[in-house]
Chains A and B, each alone.
Chain A
Amino acid sequence: DTEVTQTPKHLVMGMTNKKSLKCEQHMGHRAMYWYKQKAKKPPELMFVYSYEKLSINESVPSRFSPECPNSSLLNLHLHALQPEDSALYLCASSQFLTPSSGRITDTQYFGPGTRLTVL
C-alpha cells in the first residue's frame, strides 16, 4: 500500500480565515513533506519532517505553520493567507534511513493534494 491521503480535496477561504490541511500515511514512513504547486510549475518544497521533527523549512512565510503530531499525520495550518497563496498543496512521504544503512530512500509518494483558493 503506497497511499497518502489528504483532506480536504478543495478549500476556499478568505484572507482572515484560519484553516488546516491534513495528510495521513500508514506506510511506516518517517519523512513527510509539504509542497506547493502552481499551475504549469513543478512542486515547490515547503517543509520536511523527519521523525516528527521539522528538518527543513524552505523560508516559508509564517502564515503557513506545519505540525506533525505523530508519525502518520502531518498538518498545515493556514492563517491570514494572500490570494497568491492559491495553489495545489501536496503532501508526500518517504522512508528515512541513515546514510550508514546503504539504502537509498528518495522515493516520495504523493497524496492527491488539496486545491486551495484564497479570496
Chain B
Amino acid sequence: EDKVVQSPLSLVVHEGDTVTLNCSYEVTNFRSLLWYKQEKKAPTFLFMLTSSGIEKKSGRLSSILDKKELSSILNITATQTGDSAIYLCAVGIQGAQKLVFGQGTRLTINP
C-alpha cells in the first residue's frame, strides 16, 4: 500500500526561527512530490519536485527531494506568524491520476 509519512506532526517555534519539515514515502511507482500549505480552508500549492527538479526555492521557503532516501524536506527560514499553518506533503504515482497525502505537520509560530 502506498504510504506518505510526515514528521513532526506538530511543531511550535518562535518568530525568526528556521524550521525543517520532513516527508518520507513508500510508493509503488513514484512520479512527483508536492508540498501544500493549508490555513483555514483550501490547501495552497507550494512546490512540486520530480526526478528532473529536485530542488525548489521561493523566498524564505525551499524544498529538496532525496530520491535515494525516499524523502523530502521543506525549510522555512526567518519564520513569521503568517507561516502558521498545516503543511501537507503529497506524492503523485505513475499511472494514477491521484495524490497520496501525508498526515500533515501543524506548524505554529509564536511572536
Q: Which residues does A use to contact B, with CB under 8 Å?
A: 2, 4, 31, 33, 40-43, 45, 48, 50, 55-56, 88, 90, 94, 96, 99, 104, 106-113
From residue A101, how far is it (CB to closest CB) to chain B in Å?
13
Residues of B within 8 A of A40 (CB): 106
**Contact between B48 and A106, CB atoms less than 8 A apart:** yes
**Contact between B101 and A56, CB atoms less than 8 A apart:** no
Interface of B is mostly: strand
Q: Which residues does B use to contact A, with CB under 8 Å?
A: 31-32, 34, 36, 41-45, 48, 50, 88, 92, 94-95, 97-99, 101-104, 106
A48-B97, A56-B98, A106-B31 as given contacts; A111 in contact with B48, CB under 8 Å: no
> Would you list 6 pairs from A and B whose C-beta atoms are within 8 A, ordered by A residue?
A33-B98, A88-B41, A99-B95, A104-B92, A106-B99, A112-B42
